[in-house]
Chain A
């Protein structure tokens, strides 16, 4: 579904991703953990081209989406093609980033309307189904500022799903939430996982990673240090760095 090959990313002199190799198959729920500044979020942002990789290859849905060497494009992939591949990826941000000038329903319908150019009635039906999925049908005409953080994040998930992506990327989706609101967002994510959605989740919620993750990746200083089955990683990590990280947070 998604493959990163020898991916490097630098911001100026600062190397934030070093030789990342990762393959995510259909139906997997990959949880990425690690200390802050370890490159987890940057890796997600490189996948959907919010950041450009410095070198390496990215495949989305089996097709080459980006190939670079020392910051230069090796193979010119037409921007429309890249944009099309990126719409296979839905993204949920730490700070929700809902559009405050649009109602909940409009937040969900705007992208299908102007990007996919689908029919209004069809879009609305999909949007209402999604609102039902995240449990917020009664909020469809509210503006985001009237919702709690947890509700906003659930709308953000519905908004991303409305583009009918094949893979969902979650960038610390519960880190900006009050503790009592974390559960409702995780519930929605569990539902998605159960329905077979392919997901990459950058998270500090170890409980979620253990329960829902099919694989856990531990990153530190821009590298993937260790990866494997959640049980194995949490109960008997091999690497010292993984051990000391888990000791600190568990």
Chain B
């Protein structure tokens, strides 16, 4: 069984995991919508910038992005500007997860928007709506339902990928349990980690299924 300090450590690890996941998905969706609008915009500059962003963040390992934001950015900024741009490690990790998930979500959202029939934008324009009115009142609300499964997917991936923060010195669920195993020589602590991950992924799966059903009323 677990001792009280071990329980406390697991709770702390769970809180850290949840913090990174929730910040990552929320900031990722907001930034992802903006990036998606850039990807489908007619402006070549916006198009180019957002293309490069997605290319860079999808094309390199998340662990490397964590290292760069946590360790390399302070060193670069020290060299360039004479002072290190250094965030607390947890905040820096949250930034890395947000930027990374934004790249994946941008592609999900872009595909969702583009899957909506062109006639919807034409009808909106014919009624006098501006591009952004049509986008936010007509197109994106219809894309929601199609976005629910892939966004749920991304959220589960993100939750599991937070275990990478072990390598930048943070104690998440997984690192906490592996430390207990190292200290005691007993491997069953990993089962606690598995239970905690499965508990949250189950919630995500059930909630997303429900939401998807709720949005199906108009189909």
Contacts and interface: CB of A to CB of B under 8 A. Distances in A.
Given A114-B137, A145-B219, A100 B142 contact: yes
Interface size on B, as a range, is 20 to 34
Interface stretch (A62-70, A87-95, A206-214, A240-248): A87-95
Contacts of A145: 218-219
A89 B127 CA distance: 8
A239 B172 CA distance: 82
A97 B129 contact: no
**Residue with the greatest number of chain B CB neighbours at <10 A, chosen from A84, A110, A159:** A110
Contacts of B117: 97
**Residue with the greatest number of chain B CB neighbours at <10 A, chosen from A84, A90, A98, A114:** A114
Nearest to B133: A114
B138 A99 contact: yes
A49 B128 CA distance: 11
A114 B125 CA distance: 12
Given A114-B133, A114-B137, A145-B218, A99 B120 contact: yes
9 contacts: A50-B125, A84-B128, A87-B128, A93-B119, A101-B218, A111-B124, A115-B133, A144-B218, A159-B127
A83 interface: yes
B218 A143 contact: yes
A163 B127 contact: yes
Q: Which 3 A-B pairs have the closest CB atoms?
A: A111-B127, A97-B123, A87-B128
B129 A48 contact: no
Interface string B120-155: 101111111110010001100110000000000000
B44 to A, nearest CB: 18
B217 interface: yes
